[in-house]
Amino acid sequence: MMRRDFRISFLIVKELLGGLSDEEQRELSMWKESHNPLYERLHKPESAGEHTARLSRFPADEAWTAMERRIRRAERRRHVAKAAAVILPVLLLAGLCIALFDGTKPVPDTLYAEVVTMRGEEKSVVLPDGSRVRLNSMSRLTYPESFSDSERRVSLEGEALFDVISSDVPFLVSTPEMEIEVLGTLFDVSAYAGDATRAVLVEGSVRVSCPEGTDCILSPGQMASLSEAEGLKVERVETDFHTSWTRGRIYFRDERLEDIMTVLSRWYDFEVEYSDDSVKDLRFGCSVNRYDRIDPFIDLLVKTGRISVNRKDNHYLFTNN
């Protein structure tokens, strides 16, 4: 592992200096795929001073003395000057290796688990600290096989209900648009691509942070949502309404038809097409048993007399009446 760390340090240094070959760039890119958080951390401008300070503490003189002793024992004094030209740059690079990796272990050695749910699938996950996660359909949860002493961080794409064990070690849920920090609580996070990202707090307290620097602290019964149109918004909601999927129900209250079908299509295997935008904006309220077939629900929509549905296999065309 030390040899691998040294090699990666060497490549990062060359990259910073703008001297990577195509083959070296490919090697570094492959490493970045599984160590991107560490890579980003090392490249933060504010980290430069820290790296430099660690480099200055590297005992180059002691290392050189030990190396010279070995050379003397091997009776190769005549090659000391030649060896110095090679060894000193290596020592310098070793110091930078320490600067880069000291204090970041065990990040490079951390093994990550990934749980993925497909359409119409749910999964329950027990995290290394005993916290429980209920993963909704078409979602992805990534977490380390063991948490560090400083934080318990997981990544989520999609939706999940978190029941977090209380601890002095912060628990963080990272999504593409939002980060939620808790110490022990029950909350639901929805972070599907293309939809507003939201966090609904059932119990406890959480801090929601967004990339633009805004944040808020939620109380039970509050929801924080982030969208391009409205930015970060906090409102009081019925938590049972937003966590009903964990009990086999899906509730909609005065929702757009397009939004309803987007949610249902993550669970049921069908595709939707609309004759025009006005059909998408029709609003309905309903309750769906997610373990029933979708056809009875579609029939109820038709019975309202507001839309017509043309079905072919798993494809639905909605038109306005």
Strands 179-182 and 171-174, sheet pairing: antiparallel
**pLDDT grade, residue 290 (50/70/90)?**
confident
Q: Is pLDDT of 94 > 80?
A: no
Q: Is pLDDT of 221 > 90?
A: yes
Which residue from 315, 285, 280, 313 is spatially nearest to 301, judged by alpha carbons?
285
- Of 63-77, 161-175, 226-240, 288-302, the poorest mean pLDDT is in 63-77
Give the pLDDT score at 69.
53
pLDDT tens, position by position, 229-260: 888 899 999 998 889 999 888 888 888 999 99
Residue labelled with tokens 């972070």:
191
Give the pLDDT score at 320.
87
- Of 22-31, 54-63, 154-163, the poorest mean pLDDT is in 54-63
Q: Is pLDDT of 33 > 50?
A: yes
- Of 74-88, 262-276, 282-296, the poorest mean pLDDT is in 74-88
What fold is seen in the domain 248-320? Phage tail protein beta-alpha-beta fold (3.55.50)
Which CATH number is 110-241's, of 2.60.120.1440, 3.40.190.10, 3.10.105.10, 2.60.40.1180?
A: 2.60.120.1440
Mean pLDDT across 283-310: 88
Q: Is pLDDT of 283 > 60?
A: yes
**pLDDT grade, residue 214 (50/70/90)?**
confident
Do the beta carbons of residue 203 and residue 181 sit within 8 Å? no
Which residue from 290, 281, 293, 291 is spatially nearest to 318, judged by alpha carbons?
281
Mean pLDDT across 42-62: 49
Give the pLDDT score at 105.
42
At 36, the amino acid letter reads N
Alpha-carbon gap, residue 117 to 230, rounded angstroms: 30
Query: Could you check whether 110-241 and 248-320 share the same CATH topology?
Result: no
Alpha-carbon gap, residue 58 to 99, rounded angstroms: 8
Mean pLDDT across 111-127: 94
User: Whole-model pTM?
Assistant: 0.62
Give the pLDDT score at 18.
66
25, two tokens: 């760039």
126, two tokens: 């027990």
Give the pLDDT score at 15.
75
Domain ranges of the chain: 2-108, 110-241, 248-320
Residue labelled with tokens 């050379």:
71
Mean pLDDT across 172-190: 92
